[in-house]
Amino acid sequence: MKLFQIALFFACVSVTFAGKKLFMNKMKGDIVELEEKFASVLNDTTGSIEELESAIEGIVASLSEMQTAQAQKDIDLAWQALHMAGAAACRGSAANGGKGEWSNSVIPKENGKKCDDQCQLTDRPYCRAEVAVSGYPGRATDYTQSVGYFYNYECDGGWNVDVNHNEVAAEDGDILTADSTYYRFCCCARS
């Protein structure tokens, strides 16, 4: 019986060692599998980070393009507002208010030239007035606040030859400067 107990003991120990060996082999396999999965996650994450960085660079570039486009729109709208002010000033300066069968036009005044001469170069050859207008940026906050200035001139003078008052000679962004620059216009009519 003792021999049987010893044999049983050795059998149990062998099964335990065999089971432990199987367990260890399985654990080693699991560890290898986990290492492979971890490496795969690292590779996927690296790819994802690179893709994310690329996407962020694309977004930043798009935002930069949008800012540039918006800045140009701001400049274009400022010039348009000035042109509309010039048209309103011409309308108010014309003897009959610009009445007639044809539309009248507003053209930028060239330094040292007479509006009489400049209008004759267009399809509206008769000068009705020369005007200079200036306006401040921003909304008025008081009913006595000056928001702009104007001058009316005759058509036959080369008035105010300051190059800073010449729209064609100005830089595109000059319209956005805060100083009060006058821009001059010739008011031309067809008849």
Stronger pLDDT, 140 or 39, i.e. the higher one: 140
Q: Which of 1, 177, 189 is nearest to 100 (CA)?
A: 189
Question: Cα–Cα distance between 172 and 123 in angstroms, integer?
Answer: 26
Q: State pTM to two decimals.
A: 0.67
pLDDT at 150: 86
Helix intervals (H) in the chain: 2-93, 115-120
pLDDT at 67: 92
Could you tell me if 93 and 187 are in contact, meaning their C-beta atoms sit under 8 angstroms apart?
Answer: yes
Give residue 189's identity as a one-letter amino acid code.
A
What are the φ and ψ backbone dihedral angles of 108, each rounded to 5 degrees?
A: -65, 140
Could you report the per-residue pLDDT of 73-110, keeping only the tens digit for each?
A: 999 999 999 999 999 999 998 877 778 788 999 999 99
Could you report the per-residue pLDDT of 22-31, keeping only the tens digit for each?
A: 656 777 777 7
